[in-house]
Structure 1
Amino acid sequence: MNNDFYNQGLEKAKQQDYPGAIEEFSRALKLTPYSAEAYLQRGLAYYDSGAILPAVSDYTEAIKLNSESVEAYYCRALARVALKNLPGALEDVEQAIRLNINYAAAYSLRGTVQRKQGYIQNAIASFKKAAELYLQQKDTENCRLCLERIKQLQPPEKPSLQQKTPPIAPIKSVNEYFTQLLDKAEKGDTREAIADLNWILRADPQDAQAYCCRGVVRCKMGNYREAIADFNQALQLNFQDVAVYRNRGKARSLLGDHQGAIADFKQAIEMQPEDTLTYVARGNTYRAMGNYLGAIQDYGKALQIKPNDAQAYYNRGVTYTFLEEMQNAVEDYQRAASIFCEQQDWENYQQAQDSLKQIQTSVPEYKKQKSNLLRQKLLRLVGGYWEIAQRLIQQQKDYRPGMSEEWYLQKVLDDLERDRDR
């Protein structure tokens, strides 16, 4: 592309002056707005500067202008991996391979995406193909890296009948263990994490930490009953750790055993009173039970300990919507979205934004403020259980139909306060 601004952008990108490069490429696009190459290079500058979403946007424009751009598909796949959009990344890298079947880097990236999705055999095949192509191209370093990845993915050889199974070296600390195993699950490699843990437990069925960790991974997979069985086994082996009770509580709550979950959370808090994850989890269970005040108190406790806990803000916002305290919900959603954005947690950021938008479109100007105050007062009088309040309101509606919602709220309040003063 013969354009001074474009050439200056390339030079600044080489010097790692990415803001300067972006500025030059933008000037180039003003002169030649249909330049796929300028969009691609600006996308690379955005990506290298850490601005992933603008990079994806520029790669997309490059593809619209040149649907045969192998590099644009490959670069967008890389960016989508950074955004944890694994299906989109896989789609892009497959297209890059269709356009160039000898693109070694694309096969390697496909292996990485497949590994993150838990498709280990497919990942091994992709890394093997990449290694073969790198070898043909005499790129020994990248070939070696692919071979190392294959070795990491392949399970250890089973000992023969004549061999004695070597003992498993104990994990030095629970944190180290969780960092290694749960990091795989967090990245989507749940199948790989389970495979690793199953291997350890076959070699040492008394490894309580492995049971605990497998329970956490099974929770992430939605296998709650199997997870509870693992947590129970860990406790039987005397592995007393806050993570066991907290995660068993989550699993029990999701299966509808709210009282059992509360008991587990209580035990976890006694063991570690400053564990914000437990307060948020117990708050979620209280909300599921209809005890909205109890939930709000737990989210508030978590925020006292960790003022930037985005999950606490978000879940408290959800609870406020049940109470129709829309202004409080909006403030919590906004705070959660801001923190998620700072953490570059785009999935949760979008969820918070969607929740905020839903309020703004369905409840303009956050109406019913007077009714909300009456609801809050009534909720406190019935100990935080809105189901009780609803039954009392329905009784009044059955006895005196046709009155306004505020009238019923006030009538129930008056009756409760009169009975309390007797």
Structure 2
Amino acid sequence: MEYKKYEYDNYTVHFFNTDKFKSILLSTIFINEFTKESLTKSALLRRLLTNTNGILKTETDMVKMSYNLYNSYVGIENILHNNVLSTDFFMEILEDKYSEPGLLEKALDHYFNTMFIPNVENGKFDGNNFKLAKKSLSDLYDTEKDNKDRYAYLKAYEMIDPEYLRYPTIGYKECLDDLNEENMYEYYKEFLKSSNVNIFVFGNFDNDKVLNIINDRVKGKFSKNENKYRHNNFALEREVKEKIEQDKNNQSKLVMLFKLSDITDRERNVILPLFNRIFGLGSDSKLFKNVREKKSLAYVIRSNISREDNVLSVFAGINGESKDDVVNATKEELENMQNGEITDDEFNNAIISRRSMLNSFLDENTSILYSNVSKILTNNDDIDERIKKLETVTKDEIVEFSKKINLNIIYMLEGTNKNAED
């Protein structure tokens, strides 16, 4: 694979040339700082831009265009990375030799029409499109409120920082009422001006031809803005914070948050995933085998990592009366690892599992692209580099790293209705 970078005043273009796959991937990533209100606006904008545009003014027209492009479509995804929101306009197109001559040019035209020619009249979004998009988002809020696992995670993170907005990339329902066709169009224009913009193309294509099309369509659309990405470093509290709320469920939802103090990039990107695999990820992890299986304290228990936030989380579905036992058993498993209690089988299985997962990514064009996107935007390693570094890890490194993990938050959404279904 060959990589080329083209830097311009207000945007950067990245080309990854490879003939390994039959399709070409497009990804334009807009990076912005965000607020509670702008998260909601971004979630609504995603729907406004993909439902229709200024040329294809109905959803039926958009579906027909997708059909004519061999089922290619423009998607938009919002992802939170600590202090920034990345908005990804993505598209996957069959290479011309597997479809028809000129397909890439047609797809690029539709791609940039969706990005730059919204369905707008008289300085505001089309009323019917806006109504449908707003209802779609409102309905999503109504279904999300029943997701108790997600709610428990969110409330636990709020105990670290009340202003923390890690999970709700769909925004907040209370902010939706203030949005209308006019102020959303103003937000769209500001979104283009305020973003740090990177354009990625991955596959087998003519660099000069594609670069000319991109420059012709995006020239003058953006203002220069720096990438403001950074890792979160929440202050380490001396005391563990605990909170219990009640809800009419049968099963209680327990979330424990562990802060990672003063960790290095190697620990964050290489050691942490291996620790997590041994500690609580999968059916052969310590939490699953000992807390769930041996002690029968949880219906489900697993650990997860948020590398950008320097946080390790443990989620458990339990009987509310078992909370203290589950917390103590989890702490015991961590203390055992801190004392060096990691078997050769646990260590080797973690390496094998991680290597297998990373190798599988090398067969997926999207995984290869986005690992390189992550490397460029956040200084993470690409897949090949992760595999190489994996082979250098020692058991002692995992033990020493585990000593930097500290329990800070315990949150439980206690189920009070023993006859309810979760």
| TM-score bracket relative to the smaller structure | under 0.3
Larger helix share, 1 or 2? 1
- Calculate the TM-score normalised by the size of structure 1: 0.28
* Bigger CA radius of gyration: 1
